Chains A and B, each alone.
Chain A
């Protein structure tokens, strides 16, 4: 069975500061990993995903994440936070089954202070 842990349900940063949202997973097979973002009163949208190949993945809005197999981690970063980044972020893992099922972490709410 696969699982996802997001350390920190709330993270607060100042505008212009580094954003680091942590995600650790467990999976019995090489995983596919996703980060989704949810803005207030909206559904989720994909930020980035790792499938195979380069372990540093770039996504939309300046976000990137690095797959580290030895640490079973897929942390999300952005060099400089913007007010518009305030949202809830979800890490998810898939084992690549035909049903494309995802297992989600508990989410991290990012707050950006002016």
Chain B
């Protein structure tokens, strides 16, 4: 089974802190994604990566950056956390073979910024 793991289930940070959210997948997938999930808005894509060291902005990249130094790991970075970044963050991966590929999701990190 594909497994996508995220470093924390719950995280509480203070405004202005630098925050790292880590995601690891164990199935040698090419594509990895970071979403934020907010009630009524569904999932919105922050960034995605289709190869090591490659990244593309999604729909809401402002205030975020990402890093992919190894194929299995994709990190989301909040350079200076703000209260409007309080949300559920979901990481996903997909094989990258076809545009019809399923995305596999991690359990999510619920981030609270005080």
Contact = CB atoms under 8 A, between A and B. Distances in A.
Interface of A: 4, 6, 9, 32, 34, 36, 41-46, 49, 51, 90, 92, 94-107
Contacts of B58: 101
Interface stretch (B12-20, B39-47, B64-72, B78-86): B39-47
B61 interface: no
Q: Please list the 9 inter-chain residue pairs (A to B) with the smallest Cβ-Cβ separation, ordered nearest first.
A: A96-B99, A43-B105, A104-B42, A104-B43, A44-B105, A51-B100, A106-B42, A43-B107, A46-B102
A9 to B, nearest CB: 6
A96 B97 CA distance: 11
Contact of B42 (A51, A90, A96, A101): A90
Given A43-B4, A90-B42, A106-B40, A100 B107 contact: no
Given A43-B90, A100-B31, A49 B102 contact: yes
B42 A105 contact: yes
A25 to B, nearest CB: 13
Interface residues of B, number: 28
Given A104-B43, A107-B42, A45 B100 contact: no
Q: Which of A34, A43, A51, A97 has the most CB of B within 10 A?
A: A43
Given A9-B40, A32-B100, A106-B41, A100 B94 contact: yes
Given A43-B105, A105-B42, 8 more contacts: A43-B90, A43-B107, A44-B92, A44-B103, A44-B105, A51-B100, A100-B98, A103-B45
A99 B90 contact: no
